[in-house]
Amino acid sequence: MKQTGVVVGIEGDKAKIRMQRHTACGDCGACGVSESQLKVTVEAENTVGAKTGDFVELDMETVDFLSAVVVVYLFPLIALIIGIFAGYYGILALGISDSMAQGFGAVIGILAAGLTYVFIRLKEDKLKGMKKYKPAITNIVDKEQE
């Protein structure tokens, strides 16, 4: 997956790149990002010796990007669904009313999704450190242009 951006800082063999949020992000507004916040800064491996102000092309393997998306979005969704069903049927098995089981299932589902997010957050530093999840600058498109 290729994207472009402007180098805004260099720190050793890494560069900070300001770029447009990827189109895969969408515009649902769920994250609270407004149109004025669509520029993001990412850290990338500076494999081509780019300098501050250079307009560069970044690349991250699509498979790695998709696996990161699965971890962040799909795992909590699966935990939510499993939690709802486990809570609902678990309470029904105890002989408690259906309406009570529905509420309990909802609460367990939300807790399961929340715990999944907490787990992901705790592992975030380890995942960030993995080279396969880091983009790399592959090309300098234009020198000192913004």
Task: For the chain, give every domain's residue range.
Answer: 2-142
- 3 state DSSP class of 136: strand
The mean pLDDT value of the chain amounts to 79
Please determine, for residue 50, whether its predicted confidence score (pLDDT) is greater than 70. yes
Q: Which residues contact 97 (CB under 8 A, 6 or more apart)?
A: none
Question: What pLDDT was estimated at residue 145?
Answer: 47
Mean pLDDT calculated for residue range 120-134: 71
The candidate with the shortest Cα–Cα distance to 20, out of 3, 8, 33, 34, is 3
Please determine, for residue 20, whether its predicted confidence score (pLDDT) is greater than 80. no
Following CA atoms 76, 78, 80, 83 in sequence, which dihedral angle do they give, to the nearest 10 degrees? -130
pTM of the model: 0.55
Mean pLDDT calculated for residue range 70-97: 92
Mean pLDDT calculated for residue range 56-68: 69
Give the least confident one: 4-8, 37-41, 89-93: 37-41
Decide: residue 42, CB within 10 A, 0-12 exposed, 13-18 middle, 19+ buried: middle
Residue 21 gets which letter from DSSP?
A: P
Residue 130 gets which letter from DSSP?
A: -
Q: Which residues contact 57 (CB under 8 A, 6 or more apart)?
A: 2, 3, 4, 137, 138, 139, 140, 141
